[in-house]
Structure 1
């Protein structure tokens, strides 16, 4: 019986050539696989100057900027989604897909249903933002703890929001009047201007940017800071348990700056 010939113009493949071809194919698809093995993250944000804001098609800010850069550097596919804060928290607790929130404070109760990245930003120490004509009334308090516990001023706070462990504890112990709001900080500033409350807790960099964005004069406000004001809080990327720890680790390695 005559041996079978290869079709005209084609030489039979030799084992060594076939092995090199397989290796070449593996190498050529490796970059694509690095993206394909990670599901797309749904990264939620609120427009909140100076931490996160839209600039055309770009999402930037003190927190959103470093997070977006690290996700891209780590080759983790993601999409920005503008979502109210309470909805974001509900999505993470629901744990139905790979959802993440940006700029979150780390709290033990949150670690029960989500994963935190390493820090991406540290706030300046928070202040009490008040109308300038009311500033003198806050001189009667020697400390932030005294002001929070004994103050009779109407303190405006965001419902379901964490101001960090120290302030959260002081709020829990507070006996003075507290005005609770579900609105974002720009609307809370309006409430302060319209005398619906007397003070709000906020980082000074956010207060300055917020006042400017609303077209208001900073001279209309006073920044009240006491000697015992806690250190500014660290902000993190916070993701549902659907996001593998390996993805969080890749993100952490890609961060170019890690505040402490």
Structure 2
């Protein structure tokens, strides 16, 4: 086979992959309302810390897309089912998710929003305790959104400590209300969200923020895509994201 024929075959293959993705319709981008990560502004436009860079990169790459508001757990299920080309926006990357999903390059570096413990005021560890020692306090209960990840450092500490985990499908705001009701001792949440919850939820004065020593900076967030999303499309997105 001549070089010209090889080039032509490769070109037709590339076009076929791209056309197949286009024929399937706009790429579905799944998100949930979680200010300031993703929310609707006063005009009803979807925006936020992970929404804006994603939209800009999609437009620069010439990728057709549509926003689909979807509960967190449902997002994971849809991506894992792999029934269609779809990406969940702003997800953390961990070993379990890498088994069934493709990830873009980081769309947001959450270094200014490290996670803290939002806790009931009865939960008062010594200020000198690090994360693992805090999680290892006998009898404490952690409230955790089902299938949620907090980044590798915190996820690993939770596993090593074997803290009692109370799973829930509730969103973060309702989880804070559950702390007030003493359903658990604490949750992990970015500090700005924790401060807002203390100010706004009924009984918020019963909560406080605890920061174990050595807490990691906020993890990077990614597009987490089903296996049906072509590698070529993710590469185009990545290149546009860098610009």
Q: TM-score, normalised by structure 1?
A: 0.76
Match of 1:134 among 119, 122, 147: 122
Match in the other structure for 1:247: 233
Q: CA 1:216 to 1:251, structure 2 compared with 1: closer, same or farther past 3 Å?
A: farther
Q: Deviations over 1:52-94 (max 9, x none)?
A: 1122331111112221222122221111111112221111111
Match in the other structure for 2:49: 62
Q: Deviations over 1:23-45 (max 9, x none)?
A: xxxxxxxxxx9x95784111111
Match in the other structure for 1:180: 167
Q: CA deviation at 1:195?
A: 2.1
- SS of 1:134's equivalent in the other structure is coil
Take 2:46 and 2:29, find their aligned partners in 1: how far apart are those partners?
11
Take 2:211 and 2:47, find their aligned partners in 1: how far apart are those partners?
28
Match in the other structure for 2:180: 193
CA contact (8 A) 2:92 2:220 kept: yes
Q: CA 1:151 to 1:251, structure 2 compared with 1: closer, same or farther past 3 Å?
A: farther
Take 1:156 and 1:67, find their aligned partners in 2: how far apart are those partners?
30
Q: CA 1:151 to 1:205, structure 2 compared with 1: closer, same or farther past 3 Å?
A: farther
1:104 and 2:61 equivalent? no
Q: CA deviation at 1:158?
A: 1.2
- SS of 1:93's equivalent in the other structure is helix
Q: CA deviation at 1:188?
A: 0.5
Match in the other structure for 1:79: 66
CA contact (8 A) 2:134 2:212 kept: no
Q: CA RMSD in A?
A: 2.5
Q: CA 1:50 to 1:220, structure 2 compared with 1: closer, same or farther past 3 Å?
A: farther
Q: CA 1:175 to 1:112, structure 2 compared with 1: closer, same or farther past 3 Å?
A: closer
- SS of 1:48's equivalent in the other structure is coil
Q: CA 1:175 to 1:141, structure 2 compared with 1: closer, same or farther past 3 Å?
A: farther
Equivalent residues, number: 221
Name the larger-Rg structure. 1
Q: TM-score, normalised by structure 2?
A: 0.81
Match in the other structure for 2:109: 122
Q: CA 1:223 to 1:198, structure 2 compared with 1: closer, same or farther past 3 Å?
A: same
Match of 1:89 among 69, 76, 87: 76
Match in the other structure for 1:26: none
Match in the other structure for 1:53: 39
Take 1:227 and 1:87, find their aligned partners in 2: how far apart are those partners?
34
Match in the other structure for 1:229: 215
CA contact (8 A) 2:73 2:146 kept: no
Match in the other structure for 2:5: none
Take 2:162 and 2:132, find their aligned partners in 1: how far apart are those partners?
12
